[in-house]
Chains A and B, each alone.
Chain A
């Protein structure tokens, strides 16, 4: 009898742990794009293979992106982006690790649109800086459509713009995030 009870307890514990795991959401095909507008040239890079994980329990939110995965309209831009600016052989990956500061305001179990305040650390080109932004979470059928956009200064990340291309590359870059996250089953 005791044995049976214990098995039941173990099963319950196991199940709760599974339900905990379902508090997490992820994607491997998120989108991040950036946009630079300078007097002589507009540059847009798009990446469609962003990895993102959100833990709805703790409010932790993390993104990772391979720099070589950014695609541009002009091939030469892509070449210069990788070789001259972000040095993607040396710094292949950029990351954001943060928390949703108003996580308690978001009901992940109820469909709707929520505003998420996010605070964390963004690492690009080997340099880590604090970033704070707001985004929207559209919760629909147990999935999260997370959107945000914010500006960074590339000089903050030790990426140099030579004076010769000053009119072509802006120091202020707009980053747009669009990720559809699904429940993570472990």
Chain B
């Protein structure tokens, strides 16, 4: 009797095994759990607007960046709201060396300044196994002013032309629509205009984007400079604008109160005030070229 029930049970099991197979074969081959997957495309380009973004260039990609700021919007109709100029430009080349490492150089008309930086991603936001909810990026850069000395009679040193900056970016792509990042920075200037200006400026920045469609996003970045020399009329840089992606190009159209387009220039030398309408219309054009092709 016992054996009979056992047998029945056995055949029932067999039958069940057969019926399972016909519906979904793919269930037979289990895919190996949730794999670790890195989060990409937190921003359309490697800059929020002014500030570095948590996005890195992929290895082998060269990004030619043309940054352009027109004149002040409150110049009115006579100045065609700033479009008559005077305009400033920064031409830059960025290159992705490895998955987590990129470098860039640039040259701005403002102060005839050269700049260069190294950007390294310490932690990459990911999902799945051993996931990280955020990305952490470190940036070190330097600037060199090449404009003629205002007073050539006093002793001028080459080192006086140099400034350095360091920045950390803690960022998270919350969803396809929303990315936010926090950017503490420090700028060291070897030479400052007056004794009241600190050589080391400390700033805390925030940046983010809201994606409006596949190819359009709304971006903001702002830096609060903690020990700014307010008496000299310097302000905190704020930029607001849209990213438009058209395949190979990203156009960043925006309004900003900063004429400078490197970290030293916009953190330490933003002379204009949003409150007074001293803002500039500007655009950044990013054009990517794949220099090193992936083998496959």
Contacts and interface: CB of A to CB of B under 8 A. Distances in A.
Interface of A: 2-3, 6, 9-10, 13, 17, 20, 24, 26, 28, 46, 51, 53-55, 58, 60, 62, 64, 68, 71-76, 79-80, 82-84, 89-90, 95, 162, 164-165, 168, 184, 186
A184 B296 contact: no
B18 A76 contact: no
B25 A62 contact: yes
Interface in B161-180: 176
A71 to B, nearest CB: 6
Contacts, number: 88
Contacts of A13: 10-11, 14
Nearest to B247: A165
Contacts of A84: 214-215, 245
Contacts of B26: 51, 53, 62, 64, 95
Nearest to A169: B247
Interface residues on B, range: 35 or more
Interface of B: 3, 7, 10-11, 14, 17-18, 21-22, 24-26, 28-29, 31-32, 37, 40-41, 58-61, 176, 214-215, 245-248, 288, 290, 293-294, 296
Given A82-B40, A83-B41, A164-B246, A75 B58 contact: yes
Nearest to B35: A66
Contacts of B3: 2-3, 6
Contacts of A6: 3, 7
Contact of A75 (B11, B14, B247, B290): B290
Contacts of B246: 164-165
Nearest to A74: B290
Given A13-B11, A17-B17, A84-B214, A73 B290 contact: yes
B7 A168 contact: no
